[in-house]
Structures are given as structure tokens and as C-alpha cells.
């Protein structure tokens, strides 16, 4: 299992993760798409990536808005898996 | 635009909407699926129904758990559209 | 129900539908995406549009390739609904 | 890479794969769902499983009908990966 990262390590990684911030101990991201079709099409792609990584987001959707929080519940914090999923989400946008 | 329903009307409708409750002025629903694949497959079906109704849920997903809140933001409360979407979601489960 | 269009009407419409051609009496389109994730994300968006129009494509997918044929089976040919779905698919690409 | 299986091996495996047949050197399956929403919801789940296996179907959809052909193009025939994907698809139905 991936280990919980130090806050310093996470803050350092955020430098190369535009759009992500640290909130309540999770990697946080929010984006407003053009409409629901664009938002859910994006979620479908994230779902495919997440399932293939066997690492899934906590996320919510309200029409065109998608909010994602990444944390590794089993590790009690943010791990390299969360950073990797954040990177792959950024590649999809 | 659909009108906001009275709380009495909403509480009456809940009688034929198993799994739904009234929470914070919204129709609230939560279900735990077998895994992420089942949860997201369900969300894909709800998304198709919602887009065809042009009425969308506020919803979140955490692995196998899907949480849905229905409210008509423009009407400032629950409308017939929310009841109809709740019924159609129940038909999908 | 929408009426079957003449071949002249269809050929005229193709002028403003880049990527589409007439094949076997259907509107035909094929695109190669970067990978399966992009291809299926696109299909998810098309599915939402199609369901909301209550007009659906005949389509196939092989990894990154998506092939779409549009025809209105009930009308025995191409109708305005097919042209409209083709236009909306082009807007999604 | 998985090796191409003998036809005997494939025919033997079909005994425990209800709904699947051998057609044109591929594992073939077709199912008619209740409507497009059910059909595409199923496809969304198959897509997640396929991406997580990094092994994808050749498939098509026409409203409520989904047709799937499984073959490993790189191996020039049916492999254990195709049998495994067929099994997992059957688990989803």
C-alpha cells in the first residue's frame, strides 16, 4: 500500500499540478465545464482512468461543475497514488 | 418553470418513493453498490435520463457509494421535476 | 415522424458537415481518437445528446476508433433528425 | 503477450460461457436490452472492465442492442484475455 506523504512533499508536488490545492487534508480540484454533457463526458474518462489504476476519486457533480477530492482512505492521507491520479486527470482536461 | 412544492406535498410523495428522504430541503438518496463499476454504470444511466429530462441531480460518488440530492435551484425548492427524476432513478436501480 | 430526405437534400447538407459522407444510404463518420479513454469519453457525450434527442446512432468502437452511421429506420432513410444529430456530434468533437 | 488458443480450447471454454459463440474466428455475443439507457449503462460498465484489463472489445450498438466480438488482434486469434473478458462481461449482465 502507498504511504501517506508529508505535507511538505504534497505542497512541493502541487507546483506541477495546476488547478489543484490542499484542502482538509485532500487534493482538491474544481472545474466548470460548458454544460452537463461536457462535465459527464469528462467524468466518464476519469472513471476509466481511475478504475484502471484501482484508485478512485471522491467527487461530486452539479450540472456543469465537477469537484474532485483525492485522498487514500486506507493510508489516512494523500499518497503517491493521489498525485498520480491528479496528474492523469490534468492530462484529460 | 415548475413551481416549488409544499412540504406536505413532498412528504406525501415520499410514501411512493422508497429510499428517498427529505434532508435540508432536498430529496435525498444514498445507495451502496457492489463496487465502482456498478456505481458508475448506474450513474451513466441516471445521466442519460437526467439529460433527456433537462433536469440534473446534485450527486457525489465515493467508490461504491452514490449519493443524490434533488432540488430545483431556480424554483428555490423541490418541484414535480425532482419527484419525476426520483421516480425514474428508482426505476433504474 | 420526420420524413426521408431526397439524396439531393442530403448531399447539399453534407457541405456543412465536415467528416460525414453518404454510404449505403446512411450518414457515415469515422474518427480515430488518441486511445480508448478518449474514444469512450466521446461516446458518452454522444449518448447523452442522442438520448435527449430520442434519436440514436448505429455505431461501433474498436479501441480508439469510433464509427457512426445515422439513418432513421422508421422512415427508411436519412431525415432531418439524422442531420441534426450529425451537427451536434460535430460540435462535440 | 497472450498466445492464440486452439479452436478446441476455445470450443471447450464456450461450455462455461453462456451467450457466447464462435463466429469468424472471434468470440461473439449479442444482447437486446430494454432500451438505450440500459444498453449504454451496460456498455459503460464493460468499458471500465476492459480499460482496467487493458483489453478492449470490438463492439457495436443500435438502440437497445449491443453486439460484442472479442479477438486479440496482435495474436491473430482468440486468447485467454478474450475468455477472461467474456467471463467478466457475463458477470455484468
Contacts of B37 in chain A (CB under 8 A): 51
**ipTM above 0.85?**
yes
pLDDT in tens, B31-47: 999 999 999 999 999 99
pTM above 0.90, yes or no: yes
Query: CA B45, CA C16: separation in Å to the nearest integer?
Result: 32
- What pLDDT does A2 receive? 85
pLDDT in tens, C2-60: 899 999 999 999 999 999 999 999 999 999 999 999 999 999 999 999 999 999 999 99
Which 3 state secondary structure label does DSSP give C19? coil
pLDDT band, very low/low/confident/very high, at B2 (cuts 50, 70, 90): confident
Query: Among partner residues C40, C58, C62, which is closest to D62 by beta-carbon distance?
Result: C58
Contacts of A58 in chain B (CB under 8 A): 60-62
- What pLDDT does A58 receive? 98
Exposed, middle or buried, C73 (CB in 10 Å: 0-12/13-18/19+)? exposed
- Cβ–Cβ below 8 Å for A62 and B40: no
Which DSSP string corresponds to D35-56?
SHHHHHHHHHHHHHHHHHHT--
Residue D51's closest chain A neighbor by CA? A52
Q: How far is A45 from chain C (nearest CA, A)?
A: 5
pLDDT in tens, A45-91: 999 999 999 999 999 999 999 999 999 999 999 999 999 999 999 99
- Cβ–Cβ below 8 Å for B51 and C54: no
Amino acid at each position: 500500500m502507498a504511504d501517506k506523504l508529508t505535507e511538505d512533499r504534497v505542497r512541493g508536488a502541487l507546483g506541477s499540478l495546476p488547478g489543484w490545492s490542499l484542502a482538509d487534508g485532500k487534493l482538491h480540484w474544481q472545474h466548470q465545464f460548458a454544460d452537463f454533457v461536457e462535465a459527464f463526458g469528462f467524468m466518464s474518462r476519469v472513471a476509466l482512468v481511475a478504475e484502471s489504476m484501482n484508485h478512485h476519486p471522491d467527487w461530486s457533480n452539479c450540472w456543469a461543475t465537477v469537484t474532485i477530492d483525492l485522498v487514500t482512505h486506507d493510508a489516512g492521507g494523500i499518497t503517491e497514488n493521489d498525485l498520480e491520479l491528479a496528474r492523469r486527470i490534468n492530462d484529460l482536461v
